[in-house]
Structure 1
């Protein structure tokens, strides 16, 4: 018998391979069809209780010093914090009272407050466990509704963290001409301390708006102090700012100690200081300085009450 031709051998191989694949698929279908479905994972009461205990331990280690053992904002460190730590039962919150929101705040922290970011300090499993414990504290007890004062409402609507009742750190800065200025020199006026950086786009965009805001209250007791946080030479900062706002006067803290005390973690950072020399509030990041809410906030604390 003669050998089959090469094309015929190729066709036989293709048919054989197809049959093998079809058979394998059929076997797989049959196994899957008749294999019993896996039982759903059910967390036992013991596992749930263990997670609850773990969440309580994590809370006592990382949170109770400020928020108190039961989340009522009465921890041993609470009295020294501005703004004070959250009482989980108090409403309203600035974000929804959900596990997702609580986990996000626990992970990222809240800039401008004592709420630190724990994303790098806790494993994902511990973050989830701590989140659920905080959510239980916030929802398993009777809630209390706080009626905000006029000042609290003004600060919130303008995007400021309430820091009333605190004294600002000492700050001595100098301009490009070498003239020194102290923050205490502006007592009797409302001062906005605008802490900016030479590579911060938002900072440079804010300067014209802050100049406009200062001009709107000219002679009524508002001063804006532009303090550069990262220039090696204040003359370099002055030259850069001049390109954005001709005639603006900027300052720098050569020692850097003052700015460190002002807790500058995000640029721009703006502190609002009252006529009595006490802190009113602080805001970080991009801000709409032309907003009516900002003007209302400034007007409320101006020493010249006719501006109101």
Structure 2
């Protein structure tokens, strides 16, 4: 019986018999090349990922590291450091009796006889000069809860506390009638009177030319401090009218000091204010202490300081500085500087 297929028949040609033995090794070689190429591709891929990750984690190149830094924060002003040191010592040793603002209303005050000093009232029975304050702090007051600190403070710390306590009480002020009139004038202009008036905290800031300036340099003048920011819309809106004030009072004993507290970059501050100001000097706070020193919670914030160096009014929020009530207030307070000469 003849077979119906070629399966099982012996090959008729030796070449055909060897063909399967040739093609199997060839396929293995091709498969090997394919695996090798795939492995090489994976290695390249992982190497690229590793390089990318490493580049994101490594510090900038040497070229960038050696580039000059223009926004280096300067050392804190010694006056500010002393003020903060005195405030810290007061908070640790005094607030339980005298209270955080020196009003004699600390948590232990009710149990003390006689009650602790309210620094807002005058006269102080032991004197108000730095020497008198230093003597009380060092020696205490016999018969009261005020003990001496001579063993607790270094000379530098004692000086800092004396200076800080001196800022808690009001400085000698005008008569009651004149004081009431000034408060009414402040309120009409949108300011909240500072009651009692307190000494202006020391403050150091820089002009856009890099020069440092302090409030002491404006001694004898009325000072309008404006704390503002480059991302604050109300701040931007009030700059033109504030610029007009600077122009109109250029020859008066008034220092208008707008201090940018959210951006230390001089060029950015200059660019933001360029189209809004022509006569207004601009300053920056590189230390970040200005807002702390003057308890600035929102921007913009204005603090009015009289020619005797006292904070007399504060204003939160934007203001039209060209209004008649503001102009009257500024003319009145600058006239005090003229009277003091």
How is 1:1-308 mapped onto 2 (pairs within 5 angstroms)? 149-163=180-194, 165-246=197-278, 248-302=280-334, 303-304=337-338
Report deviation, 1:197: 0.4
Give 1:28's aligned residue.
none
Alignment partners' CA distance in 1, 2:247 and 2:211: 23
**CA-to-partner distance for each residue in 1:242-300, whole Å, 9 max, x for gaps?**
13224543111111113211111110001111111211211010212111111111111
Alignment partners' CA distance in 2, 1:260 and 1:197: 15
* Runs of 5+ unmatched residues, structure 1: 1-64, 67-72, 82-146
* Runs of 5+ unmatched residues, structure 2: 1-98, 108-116, 121-177
How many pairs were matched up? 171
Alignment partners' CA distance in 2, 1:229 and 1:243: 20
2:299, 2:316 within 8 Å by CA — same for their partners in 1? yes
Change beyond 3 A, Cα 1:284–1:80: farther
Aligned-pair Cα RMSD in Å: 2.8
Q: Decide which structure has the larger Cα Rg and report it.
A: 2
Alignment partners' CA distance in 1, 2:289 and 2:272: 23
1:241, 1:248 within 8 Å by CA — same for their partners in 2? no
TM-score, scaled relative to structure 1: 0.50
